[in-house]
Amino acid sequence: MAMIKKDVSFKLLRSAVHRVNAASPSRCHQAQRATTNATTTIVSQAPQHVTAAVAGKDGDNIFNFDDTKTLFASVPTGKLLHSAATLNVAAVEPMVDLSLWVMNSKLMDFPLFKKVVMGTIKYTAYDHFVAGGDTVETGKTVRRLWNSGVRGMLDYGVEHAVDNESCDKAAQHLIKTAESTQSLPPSSVGFVAVKVTALCPVYLLKRLSDLLRWEHKNSSFKLPWKQQTLPIFSETSPFYHTLQQPAPLNGEEEDDLELAQKRLMRVCEKAFEGNVRIVIDAEDTAIQPAIDYLTYWAAIKYNEPQRPMVYGTIQAFMKDAGERITMTKIAADKMNLPAGFKIVRGAYMSSERELANSLGVESPIHDTIENTHECYNRCAAFMLDQISKRPGGLILATHNLNSASLAAKKAREYAIGKDSGKLEFASLYGMADAMTFALRNAGFPVSKYLPFGPVDQIMPYLLRRAEENKGMLSSSALDRQLMMKELKRRMKAYFTEKETQYKARANSMAN
């Protein structure tokens, strides 16, 4: 059986190499330039103190994509072949559309059909983009990554609870996730990702957001349940969700809010026992104010004097992102509170624009992708400057080479080293591996966001993310080309070794 598997893998590898040989020798560099050129339009708009970089060109000491042997040294050939094949399929947008249609169709009501579909997904996209089905399988992924110099961010794939019972179950899963880090190598997991939508019913998050918006616009409006927090809004934040004064929370809702806070506290405290920090994910604008409120409440409660233990998330595709991160950081400094942020581009572009358009109001999302890139780079530059002077933390979650290069060079200028504990580059498991390994080789701390959970539970979540990020999947050309280049190199090395062995045996027999 092992011999059959080896023979099949060999044939697949030979087929993959044949594809590379049929292509132009410069395809890898073309893909690299295309990935970089897609973002170089923002360089002239970026802050003047941020140095522009073109990844991969001679003299660039951040990214080195020429030596694929060193780049993918920690990746077994079977894994590399599987990754290259999966990314090639995922780059075809109609495949995402077809997958979504199938998953949402009535065909899934037929047990046999569903079994076939879920089995196919399990051994293709799931194995590539998901770290495991439970904490045991995910722990193996963490150890493998840790051995290659990459840390993990554990993300249990549960979200959007509807009542206290489902919130309690989700909290137990998150506590178990945090607890599992204590049996893993020290520092191999830097963060546990938390979705507040799993700990607090979504209806209550909407109610809280409405009340927080109304309070911000009406200073005489008081919220008796509100505890100490940090600024949530800027004057340019969207307020159109709340067009009239909302009713105050009733007694049951206040009790539910207290329960949600206790759940978040238990998850935080269990993570801190293993010296693992918490990063709270962002959602859509209808509920984001409540998420920020709970995030900053927890940050005030738990952040240590010299480092943040609870990180919030800033979505750079929001027009108010730069103002909000600045206001929040300044307010935290006045409290002598080290602030931690994860900066992302965002994943609700279409839905946010559609909602704003339906209400006849200005979209809260930047008008162009170039503006989003510029906002991301400005937020990153601001936070790098801040954490170079005082305690704080920054997670730069990106698959964008230009943003990563700009930030890495700025971090070097500020001497924000790998051991400072202040900076982490992060990307999704199964995405932007070349960038991850290049940053690792350049001496920067890197992590992979590791979603995990049973296939039937996590695939709807992943498919939603795939739909929201089709462009990200189709822009994986650099990863795909570098993987194919390395597969070709390994194939040549394999045949060279076999030829050498054959000649050695022939000479031995002749003698």
Number of Cβ within a 10 Å radius of residue 200: 26
212: its two tokens: 């927080």
Burial of 306 per CB tally in 10 Å (0-12, 13-18, 19+): exposed
| Cα–Cα dist 410/203, whole Å | 42
pTM of the model: 0.84
SS (H, E, C) 124-166: HHHHHHCCCCCHHHHHHHHHHHHHCCCEEEEEECCCCCCCHHH
Using alpha carbons, list the distances in angstroms from residue 450 to 25, 161, 196, 208: 34, 21, 17, 30
If you search the block for the tokens 């923002």, which residue do you land on?
A: 42
If you search the block for the tokens 């996730």, which residue do you land on?
A: 177
Q: Which parts of 157-295 are beta strand (E)?
A: 189-194, 277-280
| Cα–Cα dist 401/395, whole Å | 15
The pLDDT tens digits along the chain (511 residues) read: 433 333 434 344 344 334 434 444 444 444 444 444 433 333 223 333 223 333 434 345 688 888 999 999 989 999 999 888 888 887 777 877 787 788 888 888 898 998 898 888 888 888 888 999 999 999 999 999 999 999 999 999 877 888 999 999 999 999 999 999 999 999 999 999 999 999 999 999 999 999 999 999 998 999 999 999 999 999 999 999 999 999 999 999 999 999 999 999 999 999 999 999 999 999 999 999 999 999 999 999 999 999 999 999 999 999 999 999 999 999 999 999 999 999 999 878 888 999 999 999 999 999 999 999 999 999 999 999 999 999 999 999 999 999 999 999 999 999 998 888 999 999 999 989 999 999 999 999 999 999 999 888 887 667 766 665 555 555 578 888 999 999 999 999 988 988 888 888 888 888 7
Using alpha carbons, list the distances in angstroms from residue 119 to 93, 104, 112, 127: 21, 16, 11, 11
Q: Which of 479, 406, 485, 472 is nearest to 444 (CA)?
A: 406
